[in-house]
Chain A
Amino acid sequence: MMSTVTGRLSQAFLLLLVMSLIGFVGIHSVGNPVYNIVNIETATAEDIRKATIALGLDQPLWRQYVLFIGNVVTGNFGTSYIYHLPAFRLVMSKLPATLELASIAMLIAAPAGTLLGLLAGRRQGKPADSAILKASVFALSIPSFWLSMMLILLGAIMTGWFPSGGRGPTVSLLGQDWSFLTLDGLRQLTLPALALAIPNIALIARLARSGTIEVESQDFTRFCRAKGLSSRRILFRHTLPNISVPIVTIVGMQFGGMLAFAVVVETIFAWPGVGKLLIDSIQLLDRPVVMATLTFVSVAFVGLNALVDLFYALLDPRVRRSA
């Protein structure tokens, strides 16, 4: 057990190092952030020179990187070039918004996708199955910006049921501001959560369907049926646990993805989350914030993967025994 943990940790450490190097060099090669900090249309050459020195951008890249790593070791990601706030605090301040959006989207997607998948798998080849299959192909292949726009068109502009964007009023809980605790906040959450959930419903449904088909054809299912168990009981007590390992994996991965890369949905719904911060910061070449976000995302991914492994053990006695 100990060796798995240390193995995991050293992997994570290596991942972070490689990621930071790629991020650092990547941002550097895109362009010079100083042009986004001074007003390029009014600044004098002297202003630009002074700002470059102040940000340490006149140093060679390797020295900037060594300085950066040295600071990160002490927990300091630097100050945002654009917002002039500590970069890591800035990322953390966007976290509640992202966390609640991703959680609600996953709370919709995981049960809905699993149920649809089970249903389709049980009725393989029947009209319900083919309808679910076709809908899932459609939902997976539409671009998320189009889906978001259509949701705004339907849910906000034509019917007026939901607001078109933005985050609702917040309530403070555990020192953070959450909007899902207020009624208006939930209304504001609905459309972006749906936009994030729909492709995931489709993904999970397809996974659950193929798992169900596989499990249903196995001997133990047939045995259960021969024993005279109701088909509902077979589905939920026997099939579901057997197909849950890949589903938990994909839920974990997708959830991690939503924490950082729900960029399109967050932008269109003006949702002030981490993904939007990341893409804005990349555009403005705000390197401290980009690095802080990437580090956070890497840590979150590693953490989520560990959680998923734990879940395997809970779900699958074979994994438990081997460990």
Chain B
Amino acid sequence: MPSLHQFRSTLLAAALATVISAGPLGAAAFAEELRIGTSYKLMTLDPHYADLNENTSLLSHIYERLVNQDERLNPQPGLAISWKRLSETQWEFKLREGVHFHDGSPFTAQDVIYSIERIRDFLKPPSGGFQSYTQAIKSITAPDPLTVVIETNGEAPTLPLSLTSIFIMPHKTDGFATTEELNSGAQPIGTGPYKFQSWQSGEVLKLVRNDAYWGGAPAWSDVTFRIIESPAARVAALTTGDVDVADYIPARDVEGLEQRGLSVESISAARSNFLQFDIGRDEPPGVTGKSGNPIQNPFRDKRVRQALTMATDRAFLAEKILLGYGTAAAQLFPAGLSGTSATLKVEPPDYNGAKSLLAEAGFPDGFNVVLAGPAGRYPGDSESLQAIAQNWARIGVSVQPVVAPFSVFATQRSNGDYPVWYGGCSGEAVTLCLDAVLASPNAELGTGSLNYGKYQNQAFDEMLAKARTLEEGPERNEALARATEFVMADYPILPLYHFHLIVGHGHKVGSYAVHPRGWTTAMQAVPSEE
């Protein structure tokens, strides 16, 4: 069972070391090429263009960040070796010494300033998807070449976490580099373990080892990413040995791969998929009484939300629909990641209890409801809706599942066309999802961006606000876990599952450490011993 060894703590430290320092030094002796089949498109070479794994996963070979994240999403030193809070609104970062860019120029505080200012001031939407990470930054100065001091607007206790998303580029003296410049011709230059060789957008990315890498020479001499978007084609490429590693393997293909002697590794993704209820409106569309008569919004009643939760067989979704490559969810991130609750558990379905709760809430016969979701966006999305419809039918709630392509679904959802829908949240920290999904919509604080149902819970907002003022660490994680437990007792959403990220690899790769954020990199692949 994958859930047993999701977070193998002892292996974790070793794997972490390899992720951070790009492979054990000894392995450098093998001058081998690694070929990876990935679903990530790599749309642009501008590291600050869009905050999507599609880009950042592959670009993280070339560019690095000040702060890295380990497999529990805790911050770890990257290009910065240490950081401390000087005052409420001031952070100091000490930079790593002796780091050089691929063109030989040394990495200094100027590059950090340049990169942050490029995002904050220069890039205009639709590029500059990283602006939300730099919004809090008021000014940035360099007292000496290896120190930066960041002044923030108000308190920003999680600034290091924000910096885990920002790639550092070498500074230019003549203004900021444009996205067009970076896409066409100009070779991308970073400090990362691999150097850019060539790319064709949506096709291939070729990298070579950076022998002067500060973390020691990387394990692979050449790395070729082939972009293969069709999962069946990725599996075929791995099977025939055309690639050594393939990401996002469909669960149904795992057995076939293992029979052919290929290895498969998986981990719970740092995310969750859930059902959200429209709580804001009196009479949302798509909800009617049993005889088709209009009714008041049933989801405003906590007992209804609780009953629906009790009537949903989440273990079935994880075991049967995701074939075991999923973990039933009771909160937003899988338990074990920082800031999650250790006590929230998924209960087996209790249809009788749910039925009586529903009766108590005034719906002894249930009601009719439209349940909407995207098709093919997440593993098991449309199949789950079918299964949930069957579950809810047992307590008298007749579900009409509505499945649409993601872009259609997203438009309809923000138009408010659905009463209950399937959603997802991911991010570099659980706070991101707590803020986006569960906190009350508040433009000033930037919270509630995914709270399409307009759920509001003032006590929870306050707990979250309090946790936000704490610095990254056990105390903050504890506060977040308590806030999560508090809010989940009100059944604001119905968490379904954390699907697993499945990566397959051939014999050339000894082990591959899947990262919960879903990155696919050569640094995660350790060459086999032979």
Q: Which residues of A contact B (CB under 8 A)?
A: 30-48, 50-51, 53-55, 81-85, 90, 93, 149, 152, 156-157, 160, 163-167, 267-270, 272, 276-277, 280, 283-285
Contacts and interface: CB of A to CB of B under 8 A. Distances in A.
A40 B410 contact: yes
A41 B54 CA distance: 14
Contacts of A44: 132, 446, 449
A263 B158 CA distance: 45
A39 B407 contact: no
A51 B127 CA distance: 8
Contacts of B44: 83-85
B375 to A, nearest CB: 11
A41 B427 contact: yes
Nearest to A40: B410
Contacts of B131: 47
Nearest to B51: A39
Nearest to A35: B410
A165 to B, nearest CB: 5
B202 A280 contact: yes
B443 A82 contact: no
19 contacts: A31-B409, A31-B410, A35-B410, A40-B410, A40-B450, A41-B424, A43-B132, A83-B44, A84-B43, A85-B201, A149-B232, A157-B236, A157-B239, A163-B240, A164-B236, A166-B204, A166-B242, A270-B237, A280-B229
Contacts of B414: 32, 35
A99 to B, nearest CB: 16
A149 B183 CA distance: 34
Interface string B430-456: 001000100001010010011000000
B179 interface: yes
A283 B240 contact: no
A261 B498 CA distance: 37
A285 B411 CA distance: 12
A156 B237 CA distance: 9
A213 to B, nearest CB: 41
A40 B423 CA distance: 10
Interface string B191-231: 00000000011111000000000000000000000111110
A55 B126 contact: yes
A270 B229 contact: yes
Contact of A270 (B233, B240, B407, B424): B233
A268 to B, nearest CB: 6
A50 B129 CA distance: 10
Contact of B436 (A42, A157, A160, A277): A42
A280 B43 CA distance: 12
Interface in B393-419: 405-412, 414
The size class of the interface chain B forms with chain A is: 35 or more
A41 B425 contact: yes
Nearest to B35: A166
B125 interface: yes
A146 to B, nearest CB: 11
B411 A270 contact: no
Contacts of B228: 165-166, 270
Nearest to B230: A267
B43 A32 contact: no
Contact of B236 (A31, A165, A276): A165
B242 A31 contact: no
Given A152-B236, A164-B233, A165-B242, A272 B129 contact: no
A283 B239 contact: no
B230 A270 contact: yes
Given A164-B233, A164-B237, A270-B228, A42 B51 contact: yes
Contacts of A83: 43-44, 183, 201-202
Nearest to B127: A84
Given A31-B408, A35-B406, 8 more contacts: A30-B405, A36-B406, A40-B410, A47-B131, A152-B236, A157-B240, A165-B228, A268-B230
B49 A156 contact: no
Given A156-B240, A163-B242, A32 B183 contact: no
A93 B227 CA distance: 16
B50 interface: yes
B50 A37 contact: yes
B124 interface: yes
Contact of B125 (A33, A35, A41, A51): A51
Contacts of B242: 163-166
Which residue among A41, A47, A82, A277 has the maximum number of chain B CB atoms within 10 Å of its CB?
A: A41
A285 B43 CA distance: 15
A50 B449 CA distance: 14
A176 B236 CA distance: 29
Given A84-B49, A166-B237, A272 B407 contact: no
B410 A45 contact: no
B124 to A, nearest CB: 6
A164 B230 CA distance: 12
B183 A84 contact: yes
A270 B44 CA distance: 19
Contact of A85 (B50, B52, B183, B232): B183
Given A46-B443, A270-B233, A167 B427 contact: no
A267 to B, nearest CB: 5
B274 to A, nearest CB: 12
Give the 8 A-B CB pairs with smallest separation, nearest first.
Answer: A31-B411, A31-B407, A54-B125, A35-B410, A164-B236, A50-B125, A272-B203, A270-B228
B390 interface: no
Contacts of B183: 83-85
A50 B50 CA distance: 14
B129 A43 contact: yes
Given A50-B125, A84-B127, A165 B233 contact: yes
A47 B50 contact: no
Contacts of B132: 42-44, 47
A43 B129 CA distance: 8
Given A37-B50, A270-B229, A53 B125 contact: yes
B313 interface: no
A16 B233 CA distance: 35
B129 A39 contact: yes
Contacts of A50: 125
A103 B41 CA distance: 27
